[in-house]
Amino acid sequence: MALPMTYPWGDSLPYNSTAERYKERYGGRMQKISLSGDFTCPNRDGRVGTGGCTFCSNDSFVPFYAIGKDIDRQIDEGLLFLKERYPRTAHFLGYFQAYTNTYGNVEEIKKLYLHVLSRPEIDGLVIGTRPDCIDDELLDFFAQLNEKHFISIEYGVESTDDDTLRRVNRGHDYATSVDAICRTHERGIHTAAHFIWGLEDTLEKMPQQVNEINKLPLDSVKFHQLQIIRSTVMEKKYLSGQKDFYVFEKPQQYADFIIEVIERLRPTMPIERFISETPPRYRIAPQWGLDLRVPQMRENIIRQMKDEKRWQGRIFLLNSHR
């Protein structure tokens, strides 16, 4: 299939960018302020399991200005930091990423999010959670908030393969993710999902998941390469050579892989991110983030896609026309 003169989403990027769709809808950049609501996780406190997922260390998600501070101080310091770094930002969203941000006393959860939205600088919320930690009461609450604010629920799905989910001690199956995503979408709430490439034990198993992802009613998707984080079960396995997962040790290897994934993804699904970078103090592998940072890697992938006349949905559309 020839390179289109204009991509289906109407801009010059070879993939459908969530950031660009936000700008079109809300008139400017939307920047997340990472916040900590002092939540925990059912995979740590014993309700589902203990020890957490084998790849997870939530310390790597918590920003420096959030540690040991109340929510208002986190907002104040986060705004100060982000306004200096991104002076053109039009809207700020409270982003609750670490741990499970719908797990706990429901009334306290509601109180926290109402308080954050009472701050005039905050235009909405992005709430990261597990698909087994959402119920109809909370979804109805978020749907009410969504009438006046931007609300996004971001589910940690991680993999569509149940064997993989069991191996990494996730504590839920893929059907649970599908159910939570559909119930959220039905209420008109912006619905996002997060997937990690590398949890499978072979490279060949990974692209097959895109067919399942394409079926989901998602407003945004985030893809990350697997990173081995210190003080995790996966670190012990990696150092001992007992690898039942896959690490992209070379940046070009991941670039080639993620471009194939993007081409298989339906063009109507915006991508928020297709690569990530955990700070080196937390990460032991892969090492290519030390000399090739994520912004440069992202630009390299975009350039490669354009040079090779590849774009989001190209393979998806070829297959659908057969």
Residue appearing with tokens 């509601």: 110
Q: What is the pLDDT of residue 213?
A: 98
Could you tell me the CATH number of the domain that includes residue 63? 3.20.20.70
User: For residue 8, is it within any domain?
Assistant: no
User: For residue 11, is it within any domain?
Assistant: no
User: For residue 3, is it within any domain?
Assistant: no
User: For residue 151, is it within any domain?
Assistant: yes
Nearest-angstrom CA–CA distance, 234 and 180:
27
Return the structure tokens found at 235.
């670190």
Q: Where are the beta strands (DSSP E) in 130-215?
A: 150-158, 190-197
Nearest-angstrom CA–CA distance, 163 and 69:
39
Q: What is the pLDDT of residue 202?
A: 85
User: For residue 5, is it within any domain?
Assistant: no
Whole-structure pTM value: 0.93
User: Which letter does DSSP use for residue 4 in this model?
Assistant: P
User: For residue 137, is it within any domain?
Assistant: yes
Q: What is the pLDDT of residue 144?
A: 98
Question: Helix 136-145 vs helix 106-118: angle between axes, to the nearest 10 degrees?
Answer: 10
User: What is the tally of structural domains in the chain?
Assistant: 1
- Tell me the HSE value of 220 on the side-chain side, using a 13 A CA sphere: 22
Return the structure tokens found at 66.
């959030």
10-residue stretch averages of pLDDT, the chain, 322 residues long? 70 95 89 92 81 78 71 94 86 93 96 98 97 97 97 97 94 97 98 96 87 97 95 93 91 95 97 91 83 83 96 93 68
Nearest-angstrom CA–CA distance, 36 and 116:
11
User: For residue 310, is it within any domain?
Assistant: yes
CB 132 within 8 A of CB 42: yes
Q: What is the pLDDT of residue 65?
A: 63
- Give the residue numbers spanning the domain of 221: 18-320
Q: Where are the beta strands (DSSP E) in 4-44?
A: 30-35
